[in-house]
Amino acid sequence: MKQTKSESLLNRVKETQNEPTKAFQRLLFVMDDLRENCPWDKKQTLESLRYLTIEEVYELSDAILSKNDENNTNAKQEIKKELGDLMLHLVFYSKMASEANDFDITDVLNSVCEKLIHRHPHIYSNVIAETEREVKLNWERIKLQEKNNSDSEQKIKSLFEGVPKSMPALVKAIRIQEKARGVGFDWDKATDVWEKVKEEETELFEHIDISDETVHKVTNQEEAENEFGDLLFSMINYARFLGINPENALEKTNRKFISRFEFLETEAHKDGKKLEEMTLAEMENYWQKAKKI
């Protein structure tokens, strides 16, 4: 009996593969089939897929941050799923580029391999780098050299040229500081960074009237905003010296606040109370209970 087209395609991709290269080839087959036969997949472009990719990255981030949540017993499976979704997008972009004769998935994989080999001379050459700091210094220096060498006019490019303009400000600050450190522009000691934090705090309050304990008034909005930004930047710097990722730390605090507030909402509802009718003292009582959980 002759196979239908659907049966023929399914037979090629239905078996789960245990070897990485075969499993990856299976994904490539699936992508070829979707691009040729699915109306939605056929319609997609690099631009139309972009915002969906951003969403997938955030979903992976959520899954990773949830892995330590005692109420989430399926975290590892969620991470695996989100990694698969992101992998699909990478293959999808490469497929579209291949159709345009720009590059294909082989070019993408070889490109990243060549980059990693070149930027790890302590592994693949005779450069000595025994600490994480030395490795990062080498990485940023090599990366900057690559950018400058790639310019046909030999125009010096900025160290920060590769930092995406649309990157969230907090994450961008981390990358800016890491890149500056990569070429040796950094503080010597953590104590110096903390002194800078205190200095920025003082400069911020030069533009805030705190004579009224209840309401602090900004006397110069633009300057106060500038100094507040400097203070945040310095705090991010200090976190880096402590080995703390400030983005992760802030997100954990966000989740902790939400969890405690949801406890407050639930317990107040059980007691027949509405938040908008409660006093701050009543809400604080529930909040303190939430902190003990």
User: Over 60: is that where the pLDDT of 154 sits?
Assistant: no
User: Of 13-27, 150-164, 265-279, which one has max mean pLDDT?
Assistant: 265-279
User: Of 120-124, 132-136, 195-199, which one has max mean pLDDT?
Assistant: 195-199
User: Over 70: is that where the pLDDT of 12 sits?
Assistant: no
User: Over 80: is that where the pLDDT of 269 sits?
Assistant: yes
Question: Which range, of 136-140, 146-150, 278-282, averages the lowest pLDDT?
Answer: 146-150
Q: Counting every residue, how long is the chain?
A: 293
What is the distance between the alpha carbons of residues 239 and 105, in angstroms, rounded to a whole number? 38
Tokens standing for residue 224: 């106060």
pLDDT at 38: 96
How far are the Cα atoms of 43, 86, 95, 107, 278 from residue 91, in angstroms, in the given order? Answer: 16, 9, 6, 12, 53
Spell out a b/e string for 94-110, using b for 16 or more CB atoms within 10 Å of the CB, else e.
bbbbbeeeeeebeebee
pLDDT at 36: 95
pTM above 0.85, yes or no: no
